[in-house]
């Protein structure tokens, strides 16, 4: 019996490091997708009239592996009259009728909201989108493109309509996007989202 006890003791000593390693390799399950090794699920939701915001959002979505939601305004916003009417509607904080959507923002860990600056406000199409999805966005980041000024009012609109503090925010000048001089700022913003 003592010989058997000695052999069992030796086996226990020999296999102890392997058993300890197995125990430490097992992690408790959590509901946090980032701790389970899954990438964060990101949606980039944007409105763009001229294509500047669209370009930035497509680059951002590609950089972070996000889904993309282009919000369309059924009201004609092209040309001088479309531009002036859009600015008037933005300042009045008017909503509009938007086209069909593909993604439910409630299914995402983070939603990047993007709009051009119109009269120091968000475009009516994004305002409508946020009204339709009130309370569904868990966490948000804000992005705007502008000709010269008005980003503070635009971000204030986003904050008011979502009821959220942004994880991060970014303002890009239209002229910088046209020249491709926005890449470094966009990369820094994308890195903060990951």
Calpha distance 155→169 (Å, rounded):
8
Going by pLDDT thresholds of 50, 70 and 90, the confidence category of residue 4 is: very low
- State mean pLDDT over 142-163: 95
Output the average pLDDT for the chain: 83
* Neighbour count for residue 15 (Cβ, 10 Å): 10
Q: Give the rounded percent of residues in the chain with a pLDDT score beyond 70.
A: 81
| pTM exceeds cut of 0.85 | no
State the Cα angle at 87 between 85 and 88, rounded to 5°.
Answer: 65
């Amino acid at each position: 019996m003592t010989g058997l006890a000695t052999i069992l003791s030796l086996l226990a000593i020999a296999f102890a490091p392997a058993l300890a390693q197995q125990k430490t390799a097992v992690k408790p399950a959590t509901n946090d997708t980032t701790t389970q090794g899954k990438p964060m699920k990101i949606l980039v939701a944007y409105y763009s009239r001229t294509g500047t915001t669209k370009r930035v959002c497509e680059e951002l979505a590609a950089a972070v592996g996000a889904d993309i939601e282009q919000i369309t305004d059924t009201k004609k916003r092209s040309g001088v009259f479309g531009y002036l009417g859009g600015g008037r509607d933005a300042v009045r904080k008017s909503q509009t009728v938007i086209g069909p959507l593909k993604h439910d923002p409630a299914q995402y860990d983070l939603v990047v909201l993007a709009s051009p600056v119109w009269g120091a406000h968000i475009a009516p199409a994004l305002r409508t989108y946020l009204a339709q999805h009130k309370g569904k966005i868990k966490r948000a980041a804000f992005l705007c493109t502008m000709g010269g000024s008005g980003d503070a009012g635009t971000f204030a609109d986003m904050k008011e309509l979502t009821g959220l503090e942004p994880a991060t925010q970014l303002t890009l000048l239209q002229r910088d996007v046209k020249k491709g001089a926005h890449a470094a700022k966009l990369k820094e913003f994308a890195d903060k989202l990951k």
